[in-house]
Amino acid sequence: MEIPQIIETIEADLQSIGYKSEPKNLYEPIDYSLQKGGKRMRPFLVAITYLMYKDQINDVLPLCRSIEVFHNFTLLHDDIMDKAPLRRGEPTVYKKWNENIAILSGDVMLVQAYQYLLDLKPEKLHKLMQVFNEGAIKVCEGQQMDMNFEEESSVKVEEYIEMIYLKTAALLDHAMEMAALYAEASSEDIEKIKSFARNIGIAFQLKDDLLDAFGDAAKFGKQVGGDIIANKKTFLLLKAMELSNPEQKKQLDYWLSVSDQAEEKVKEVIHIFNEIGIPKLTEELIKKYFNEGMDSLRSISSNKPEKEKLANYVELLMQREK
Q: Which long-range contacts (CB under 8 A, 24 or more apart) does 23-32 make?
A: 25/97, 25/101, 26/101, 26/104, 26/105, 26/108, 27/105, 27/108, 28/97, 29/76, 29/93, 29/96, 29/97, 29/101, 29/102, 29/105, 30/72, 30/105, 30/108, 30/109, 30/112, 32/93, 32/96
Q: Which residues, 88 to 127, sit near a copy of itself by CB under 8 A? A: 99-101, 103-104, 106-108, 110-112, 114-115, 117-118, 122, 125-126
Stretch that binds a copy of itself, among 39-47, 131-139, 176-184, 223-231 (CB under 8 A): 131-139
The answer to whether residue 159 forms part of the interface with a copy of itself (CB under 8 A) is no
The answer to whether residue 162 forms part of the interface with a copy of itself (CB under 8 A) is no
For the bound state, the minimum distance from the C-beta of residue 220 to a copy of itself, rounded and expressed in Å, comes to: 30
Question: Which of 59, 90, 141, 283 touches a copy of itself by CB under 8 A?
Answer: 141
Stretch that binds a copy of itself, among 130-138, 177-185, 216-224, 279-287 (CB under 8 A): 130-138
Question: Which of 5, 15, 21, 25 touches a copy of itself by CB under 8 A?
Answer: 25
The answer to whether residue 19 forms part of the interface with a copy of itself (CB under 8 A) is no
Q: Which residues, 74 to 93, sit near a copy of itself by CB under 8 A? A: 77, 80-81
Torsion of the alpha carbons at 85, 73, 322 and 36, rounded to the nearest 10? -80
The number of residues that bind a copy of itself (CB under 8 A) is: 37
Q: Which is nearer to a copy of itself, 7 or 60 (CB)?
A: 60
The contacts of residue 54 (CB under 8 Å, 6+ apart) are 60, 183
For the bound state, the minimum distance from the C-beta of residue 130 to a copy of itself, rounded and expressed in Å, comes to: 6
Residues that bind a copy of itself (CB under 8 A): 22-23, 25-26, 77, 80-81, 99-101, 103-104, 106-108, 110-112, 114-115, 117-118, 122, 125-126, 129-130, 133, 136-137, 140-141, 143-145, 147-148
